[in-house]
């Protein structure tokens, strides 16, 4: 019983944890439109409508995937409402591809506050998100359930990555007061630009490896 309920409980808990950040990402573009100075800050570039549109639109679509990709993995919906799972799956994959593309466009046009080092790792993050979303859909259409599931889990890790980035900073400040943080150029900043997604993806690959080994074991 617990083994059946636990994954769903964890997914719902994850959604509850990311909600405040998703709300922040969703409302920031609205506040920017209203001209609230804190929402405009360094990401708004006067006279650059394309990069402004890209960065604020990616926040909205990013908020949507952060809060809803974990729900997409709920077994009960997959089993009981497969049509809903398919429809929301296409929508979320498209939203994730858009988020990645818009983030990449902003990086190409404006770079990032952390310079080329941060831009490179954020660009890889965006590229991986596009790759994961495309492969999730591709393997679903191909009816390859195993690969579909693996890519969907990779997509979920990436979708909550932006939340994890902020969570890492929050925990670091709470425990150390911010050692190594220096306006996006300190050692902690330079590690965090990859540490919010690569270690989690690596752990997931280890999990898949374990599953493969188990499934090969004779019973
Ligand atoms: C997963 C969902 C995502 C959400 C919810 C999200 C949300 C946000 C938010 C709220 C900001 C404003 C920064 C702040 O909090 O002060 C931001 C900045 C940014 N995001 Fe995302 N984002 C997501 C995914 C991505 C992806 C996939 C990329 C990669 C292409 C990306 C690239 C960027 C860049 C380049 C910035 C500006 C960095 C800077 O110079 O300050 N984001 N994002």
Q: Is the CB of 102 under 6 A from ligand 1?
A: no
> Which residues in 77-99 are b (16+ Cβ under 10 Å) and which e?
ebeeeeeebeebbeebbebbbbb
- Nearest Cα to Cα of residue 118 among 188, 33, 35: 188
Which pair of tokens denotes residue 185?
Answer: 């150029």
- Nearest Cα to Cα of residue 95 among 52, 136, 124: 136
Q: Is residue 98 within 8 Å of 65, Cβ to Cβ? A: no
Residues 92, 98, 102: CA angle, nearest 5 degrees: 150
Please name the residues in contact with 145: beta carbons below 8 A apart, sequence gap of 6 or more. 139
Q: Is the CB of 125 under 6 A from ligand 1?
A: yes
> Which residues in 48-64 are b (16+ Cβ under 10 Å) and which e?
eeebbebbbbbbbbbbb
What 8-state DSSP symbol labels residue 171? H
C-alpha distance across the termini of the chain, in Å: 23
Query: Dihedral, CA atoms, 77, 79, 83, 84, nearest 10 degrees?
Result: 0
Residue closest by Cα to atom 17 of ligand 1: 59
Which pair of tokens denotes residue 100?
Answer: 């990645």
- Interval between CA 58 and ligand 1 midpoint (Å): 7
How far apart CA 117 and CA 53 sit, in angstroms, is 24
| Three-state SS at 163 | helix
Range of the domain at 23: 2-216
For the chain, residues with pLDDT lower than 70 are: 218-219
Q: Is the CB of 162 under 6 A from ligand 1?
A: yes
Number of domains forming the structure of the chain: 1
Q: Is the CB of 164 under 6 A from ligand 1?
A: no
Confidence at residue 184, expressed as pLDDT on a 0 to 100 scale: 97
Confidence at residue 115, expressed as pLDDT on a 0 to 100 scale: 97
Confidence at residue 219, expressed as pLDDT on a 0 to 100 scale: 55
How far apart CA 162 and CA 219 sit, in angstroms, is 41
């Amino acid at each position: 019983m617990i083994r059946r309920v636990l994954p769903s409980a964890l997914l719902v808990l994850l959604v509850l944890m990311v909600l405040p950040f998703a709300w922040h990402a969703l409302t920031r573009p609205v506040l920017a439109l209203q001209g609230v100075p804190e929402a405009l800050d360094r990401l708004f570039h006067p006279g650059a409508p394309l990069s402004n549109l890209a960065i604020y639109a990616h926040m909205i679509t990013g908020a949507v995937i952060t809060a809803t990709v974990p729900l997409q993995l709920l077994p009960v919906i997959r089993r009981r409402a497969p049509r809903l799972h398919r429809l929301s799956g296409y929508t979320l994959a498209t939203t994730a591809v858009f988020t990645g593309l818009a983030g990449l466009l902003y990086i190409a046009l404006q770079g990032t506050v952390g310079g080329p080092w941060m831009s490179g790792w954020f660009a890889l993050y965006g590229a991986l998100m596009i790759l994961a979303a495309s492969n999730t859909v591709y393997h679903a259409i191909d009816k390859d359930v195993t690969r579909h599931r693996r890519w969907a889990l990779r997509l979920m890790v990436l979708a909550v990555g932006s939340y994890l980035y902020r969570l890492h900073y929050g925990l670091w400040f709470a425990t150390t007061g911010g050692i190594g943080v220096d306006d996006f150029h300190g050692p902690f900043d330079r590690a965090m630009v990859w540490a919010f997604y690569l270690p989690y993806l690596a752990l997931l690959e280890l999990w898949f490896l374990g599953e493969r080994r188990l499934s090969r074991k004779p019973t």
